Structures are given as structure tokens and as C-alpha cells.
Structure 1
Amino acid sequence: MSKYKKIVLSLALAGGLLFGAGLTGYHHPAAQASSSTSRKRKLRPTFFIHGYSSSIKAEEYFAKAAEQSGASKQIIKAQVDAAGKVKLSASLSAKAKNPLILVGFADNRNLDYNRDAWYAYQAIKAVEKTHRFTQMNLIGHSMGNTTISYMLINYGRRKSFPTVKRMVGIAGHYNGVRGQGLKTSADRKNGRPLKMSETYRHLLVLRKIFPKARVLNIYGDLLDGSNSDGRINNSSTRSLRYLVSPRAKSYREKKFTGPNAQHSRLRENPAVLKTAIRFLWPGN
């Protein structure tokens, strides 16, 4: 081999080695975009828990709004019977955009919050069996918020319990319902009730164990002088602030007023639905 050919061969080999070394740390832009998209689309279902004597039907207003907005592409119904057995309308899809699970209790007039929390937990486990997920959002209306709170206390510290990223409370009665004899009022700055119901005293443990989640607390004011949505005093709903503020990643309150801010109407109020959807799925 001539001296000239040896030089050319040496340069070619050197160039190949350098090119190969460069490939080791090189990531194609398309691959990076794909990886980024994968992270953004990490499976995170949202569970909706209804209130006392209610059902999945009451949650369908939210489901329809979520679908029409393009925020959610899969709606699953999870009906829990009195024995805790769950019937799902479909399996959770890994490819579905922001799946929404509407949870219904057959035993829907049960005031045993521990039992209700167990029902909700069974629904989450049943969905997880169809496809595993490690994160979730939660939304509750009325007593559904108390159910969620008890579920977090009873099961939220388990390693297998999905991480709660965002939570929406609508018309929650954390410190009692109107007509129960407890005149509730709260510190305007931190939400701490001046008088606490037995349930609220139990919920105080949330100040130590509440997940690092973003929280949106929605309440209604009829503007009739009652400072309530007709069933729940605003101070009772707003007392959630004191329960979660030491640990929540963020906390925001949103008040709605007028006739459509009535307790039951809040869950179907278009403005409420729009606000909740934007909070749960920002950027959609």
C-alpha cells in the first residue's frame, strides 16, 4: 500500500471513530420530541366522586363538558355496589387523553365516611387493574369531598396509592352542613374554623399527610345574605384551606354567585365546569 493510500485510510478511520463517538452523545431532535411528548402524556386518570344521594348521572354534565372541550378523550363509568364490587363500563386505555372516571355508589346515602372512602378506593383499584397508573386527579361534589378526604387519610399513605397531582372540590362541607346547629365561621386569612365539627377535627390529620397537590376549591354564594350556596355555609367550604395549606403545592379558591351557584346547580354550572376543566388539564 502506498504512503498516500495509508494517509487516506488513516484519516477515514479517524473520521469514523470521531463520528461514532459523536453519535454516543447525540439525540435526534425527533427522538427528543417523542420523549418529551411521552412525558407530557403520562397516564393520569381523573376520578369524580359524587355527593349524598347522588349518582353518576350528576357527574355526566362535567363529562360532557370535558369531552366537548377536547380535554378528555375517554369516559369510564365505575359503579360500586354495597359490597364494594366495581363494575366498569370500559378498561383504561394507555393511549386515551386525560381519561375521566365517573364513580357511582349504589349505597349512596351512607353517612359513614370511612365506608364511603372504602368504596372510592375500590373504584380506583378496579381501574388500576385494567391498566396501571401512578398519578391521578380527584374531583368531588358536596359529600364527595368528605369521601375523598377520608380516603386520603385511610389509604393515601400506602405506597401503592397513586400520587394525587390536582384536586378540585365543589361545594364541600368540611365543617358541617347548614341546619346542623353548628354556626360556622372561619379565619379569613387561613380558613381555620372558630368552631370545629367532629368531622373537621378528624380531618385535621390532613395538615400532616395531604399530598403535594394543586388544589382548586369552588363554592357558591346565592347573594341572599346567607353567605352560602343554600345548603353549605361558605365558611365550611372555605375551611379546606386550613386543612391543606401546610402541604398543598398550591391552593386557590373560586366563588360563583347567583342562582346557578346553588349547591346542586354548581356541578352543572357551565362557568364552574369550564374553570375546573382548565385547572385539571391546563394547556388542553
Structure 2
Amino acid sequence: MNKNQRPVLYVHGFRGGDYTTEKMVKSGLNYTGKTEFLKALINWRGRITYEGTWTQDEHPIIQVVFQNKWVGENQIAHWLTRLIFDLRNKYQFTEYDAIGHSLGAVSLVIANLFEKHHAYLPKMNHLVLIAGPFNGILGLNDLPNINRFTSSGKPAFMSPTYFRIYMNRNNISTSLSVLNIYGNVGDYSNSDKYVSVTSAKSISYILAARVKEFIDFPVDGSKAEHSLLHNDSDILQKINLFIYAPHASDFS
């Protein structure tokens, strides 16, 4: 196996596409001095096709695109697991990193739950979560300023997805390093307009006590809007440092 390579997956969320992660991928390419990357396209039946190039450097970049952009986190997690297994068979790596936006972030956490009992899967090493609706989405199963954290940091209310992750928290990898980015545009909702701070920050209660490293990174103001978080140059720099130069990371 090629233990010297640790590929990086860029994963979009619900209603997303390659345009969602385009600036993140370009930023990662610029940071690592590359021009080529691999695009993995997954159709509605889970069939995987590839475009582009698997590079031979330490961190090959893989842009993941779901052609059915309307599916939920459980289906996305299932497809991601199949993709990781397929890539592992092709390129023989043992670890990988991942960056997920919105529902892509939730799906990556669910995918990590599978690792403990499936020794054949490569292990997730570094994980970036951007605007993850871990405990509800405004207008669907969350309302502004309703949920709260107890004195222990536990959310008072748990969505079905959050409860599932919570109940399976002992399956989360203890060697994982996590950067959790979430936004607050500063209006009455305390949210990024789609995901409340409480929902995105709820995952810290599960992960912080379990993983090797957990960093909460709140973003405020106009650049904190849900669909802008993955395009802001300052945020992209933080992501690149965390993934490609973790020992040089500065989150002060």
C-alpha cells in the first residue's frame, strides 16, 4: 500500500455540485502547486466514473460530485464509503482527509462511523466541516434561537440525525483531527441563514471528547452566509493550513 499518499476529498451537500467546491479545489491546487486533480462522479445508482488525474504527490485532490443532488445524508455517506473503497483498491492508500460543506459535512461524519468495524477501509485523518446542519436546518426541523446548550455543552434538543451520531459516538475515530467552521451573519437568527450556530456547533459535544484534535472556528458577518463560507479567501487559507500544513496551522 502507498502509505505516503493521503488523498483529500472535497464533498458538496444537498443541491450542490462541482460549483460548490470549485473555489476550494482551486485554492488547494494553488496551495500545493498543482494543476491536476481527479473528479469522481457518482450517479443516482451509485455508479462511479472518473475524470482528470490522480496525481503522484502526497495529497492527490478528489472532487466528489453527486449527480443526484437531492438525496439525504445517509445515502451520501453510503456512496462516499463505496467511493473510498474503490479509490483504495485503485491507488492503495491507507489514510485520507476530507472537506465537506453543509450536508456533505454531516455525511462525512456518518461515513466515519463505519470505519471501526470495517478494517479494509482507509482511515480518515483530517476532517473539515463547513456549515454542517448536524442538529437541524432552519425552516425544516430547527427554529431560530429555540435550541440551546446545557451547562455540559449538550444540546437540549436532538434531531434524528444528531441522535444517531450521538448514539454511535463510540465508533468515531479517536485519531481524527477536526476543524468545524460555521457562520453567523449577525441577524436575529444567530445562523448562516440556513443553519443555526447551535446546530452546527452541536457536533462539538460529540466529537471534542472523542477525537485527537477538535477546533471550533466561528465566522461572523457578511462572509458567514451559508453559500459563501466555502468561497472566502481567509477561510480557504485556514482550510489549506489545516489539511496541507497541519503543523503550521494558526487559528488565533
The answer to whether structure 1 residue 108 and structure 2 residue 75 are counterparts is no
Amino acid at match of 2:157: K
Contact 1:73 1:96 in 2 (8 A): no
| Cα distance, 1:187 vs structure 2 | 3.8
| Cα distance, 1:72 vs structure 2 | 5.7
Corresponding position of 1:134: 94
Other structure's SS at 1:277 match: helix
The answer to whether structure 1 residue 194 and structure 2 residue 153 are counterparts is no
Amino acid at match of 1:125: F
Quote the Cα distance in structure 2 between the aligned partners of 1:253 and 1:189: 16
Corresponding position of 2:126: 166
Q: Alpha-carbon deviations, 1:176-211, whole Å to 9, x = none?
A: 011125332224763x21111111111113420111
Aligned residue-pair number: 242
Contact 2:191 2:197 in 1 (8 A): yes
| Cα distance, 1:156 vs structure 2 | 4.9
Match of 1:274 among 225, 237, 248: 237
Gaps of 5+ in 1: 1-38
Aligned-residue RMSD, C-alpha:
2.1
Match of 2:85 among 122, 125, 129: 125
- What is the 5 A alignment of 1:137-152? 137-152=97-112
The structure whose RCO (Cα within 8 Å, separation 6+) is larger is 2
Quote the Cα distance in structure 2 between the aligned partners of 1:72 and 1:187: 46
Q: Alpha-carbon deviations, 1:11-66, whole Å to 9, x = none?
A: xxxxxxxxxxxxxxxxxxxxxxxxxxxx9x82000111111011122111001111
Quote the Cα distance in structure 2 between the aligned partners of 1:209 and 1:154: 7
The answer to whether structure 1 residue 42 and structure 2 residue 4 are counterparts is yes
Other structure's SS at 1:253 match: strand
TM-score, length-normalised on structure 2? 0.89
Corresponding position of 2:227: 264
The answer to whether structure 1 residue 153 and structure 2 residue 117 are counterparts is no
Contact 1:71 1:281 in 2 (8 A): no
| Cα distance, 1:129 vs structure 2 | 2.9
Corresponding position of 1:96: 57
Q: Alpha-carbon deviations, 1:219-255, whole Å to 9, x = none?
A: 0110123211011000110011112123200110111
Q: Which moved more, 1:59-68 or 1:73-82?
A: 73-82
| Cα distance, 1:67 vs structure 2 | 1.4
Same amino acid, percent of matched pairs:
25
Corresponding position of 2:218: 255
The answer to whether structure 1 residue 175 and structure 2 residue 138 are counterparts is no
Contact 1:218 1:254 in 2 (8 A): yes
Other structure's SS at 1:266 match: coil
Q: Which moved more, 1:65-74 or 1:264-273?
A: 65-74
CA distance 1:189–1:267, shift in 2 (3 Å): farther
Corresponding position of 2:17: 55
Contact 1:170 1:266 in 2 (8 A): yes
Q: Alpha-carbon deviations, 1:86-140, whole Å to 9, x = none?
A: 11114534x22411111111111012x3222111122222322321100001111
Contact 1:185 1:194 in 2 (8 A): yes
- What is the 5 A alignment of 1:76-87? 76-87=38-49
TM-score, length-normalised on structure 1? 0.79
Quote the Cα distance in structure 2 between the aligned partners of 1:55 and 1:188: 39
Contact 1:80 1:104 in 2 (8 A): yes
Other structure's SS at 1:271 match: helix
Amino acid at match of 2:178: V
Quote the Cα distance in structure 2 between the aligned partners of 1:188 and 1:136: 35
Match of 2:28 among 66, 77, 85: 66
